[in-house]
């Protein structure tokens, strides 16, 4: 009888662990699926048009975000997703006299090498600096690269300074405490190239 009860309790405990792990994995997956990479200066893209050998090439993104492609001219791709750039190139090609019936799916834009993105972390961190990344980087990862918070950091008043394509800067508030225990992972903001993470000293703001 006791042996049977022990087995039942063990099974229930194992099921609870599996359910918790599954829920955590699903929550993490949601965060990752919502993440979108945005093009920045220094990236290397591959752009091709289906069936057109002369329109199949690697294209570097210039420091100002400019991308040059035959029959399209120069486009400012900085801040765009690959999908957005694909649509823009397809639009321009349709407007030309050569591809009036081109569909978006006949244009492919892929990332060869993402080297243009970097973020800066300043303030109350152990190793402030500027950090390059290849694909995606969130706030917690950036703080880890900067050595973590100092004992004097204000966890609840961290700010991400971000400029849009027009150069307008906004400040996004980030509360470290919401995420550090593995909860509210949706608040772990995905950073963009050029972002500055500011960690103030507690009691100053």
Asked whether residue 71 is assigned to any structural domain, the reply reads: yes
Q: Higher confidence at residue 163 or residue 88?
A: 88
Q: Is residue 99, in this structure, part of any structural domain at all?
A: yes
Residue 170 lies in a domain: yes
User: Does residue 152 fall inside a structural domain?
Assistant: yes
Q: Answer yes or no: is 122 within a domain.
A: yes
The DSSP code for 125 is B
Do 163 and 175 belong together in one domain?
yes
Last residue of a domain, which of 62, 88, 113?
Answer: 113
Predicted confidence (pLDDT) at residue 58 exceeds the cutoff of 70: yes
Residue 204 confidence class, pLDDT cut points 50, 70, 90: low
Q: Which of 111-120, 123-132, 183-192 has the lowest mean pLDDT?
A: 111-120
Taking the C-alpha atoms of residue 95 and residue 72, their distance in angstroms, rounded to an integer, is 9
| Per-residue model confidence as pLDDT tens digits over 78-91 | 889 999 999 999 99
Provide the token pair at 124.
């109350």
Q: Domain residues for 134?
A: 117-199
Whether residue 104 contacts residue 87, with contact meaning beta carbons closer than 8 Å, is answered with yes
Q: Specify whether 81 is located in the same domain as 52.
A: yes
Same domain, 136 and 195: yes
Query: How do residues 65-76 score in pLDDT, each as one tens digit?
Result: 899 999 999 999
- Mind listing the pLDDT tens digit for each residue in 8-43? 444 544 444 434 333 333 333 333 333 467 888 888
Element (H, E) at 91: helix 82-95
Is 166 domain-assigned?
A: yes
CB 196 within 8 A of CB 122: yes
Q: Do both 195 and 165 map to the same domain? A: yes
Residue 177 has pLDDT above 60, yes or no: yes
pLDDT exceeds 70 at position 6: no
Query: What confidence score (pLDDT) does residue 89 get?
Result: 97
Burial class (CB in 10 A: 0-12, 13-18, 19+), 65: buried
For 23, the 3-state DSSP assignment is helix
What does the longest C-alpha to C-alpha distance in the chain come to?
83
* 186-189, long-range: CB < 8 A, 24+ apart: 186/27, 186/30, 186/31, 186/34, 188/31, 188/138, 188/139, 188/140, 189/138, 189/139, 189/160
Instruction: Report the C-alpha gap between 76 and 85 in whole angstroms.
Output: 9
Last residue of a domain, one of 65, 91, 113: 113
77 and 148 share one domain: no
| Tally of structural domains, the chain | 2
Mean pLDDT, the chain, integer: 82
Mention every residue, 6+ apart, whose C-beta is less than 8 A from residue 24.
Answer: 182
pLDDT > 60? residue 62: yes
Query: Is 174 inside any structural domain?
Result: yes
Considering the domain architecture, whether residues 193 and 141 belong to the same structural domain is answered as yes
Q: Are residues 86 and 125 in the same domain?
A: no
Same domain for 133 and 91: no
Domain's final residue, options 63, 79, 113: 113
CATH code at position 80: 3.30.1950.10
Kindly state the average pLDDT of the residues 102-124.
Answer: 91
Answer yes or no: is 1 within a domain: no
Round to whole Å and give the CA distance between 52 and 96.
15
pLDDT of residue 35: 44
What's the CA dihedral at 192, 63, 66, 86 to 10 degrees?
-40
Contact yes or no for 124/154 (Cβ under 8 A):
yes
Residues 190 and 126 in one domain: yes
């Amino acid at each position: 009888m006791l042996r049977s009860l022990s087995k039942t309790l063990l099974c229930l405990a194992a099921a609870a662990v599996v359910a918790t792990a599954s829920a955590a994995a699903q929550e993490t997956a949601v965060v990752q699926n919502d993440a979108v990479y945005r093009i920045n200066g220094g990236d290397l893209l591959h752009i091709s048009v289906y069936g057109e050998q002369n329109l199949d090439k690697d294209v570097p993104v210039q420091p100002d975000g400019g991308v040059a492609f035959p029959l399209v001219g120069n486009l400012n791709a900085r801040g765009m997703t690959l999908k957005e750039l694909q649509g823009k190139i397809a639009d321009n090609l349709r407007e030309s006299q050569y591809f009036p019936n081109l569909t978006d799916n006949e244009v492919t834009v892929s990332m060869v090498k993402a080297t243009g993105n970097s973020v800066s972390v300043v303030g109350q961190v152990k190793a402030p600096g500027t950090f390059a990344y290849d694909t995606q980087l969130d706030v917690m990862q950036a703080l880890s690269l900067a050595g973590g918070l100092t004992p004097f950091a204000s966890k609840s008043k961290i700010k991400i300074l971000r400029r849009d394509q027009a150069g307008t800067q906004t400040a996004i508030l980030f509360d470290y405490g919401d995420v550090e225990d593995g909860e509210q992972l949706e608040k772990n903001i995905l950073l963009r190239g050029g972002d500055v993470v500011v960690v103030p000293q507690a009691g100053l703001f």
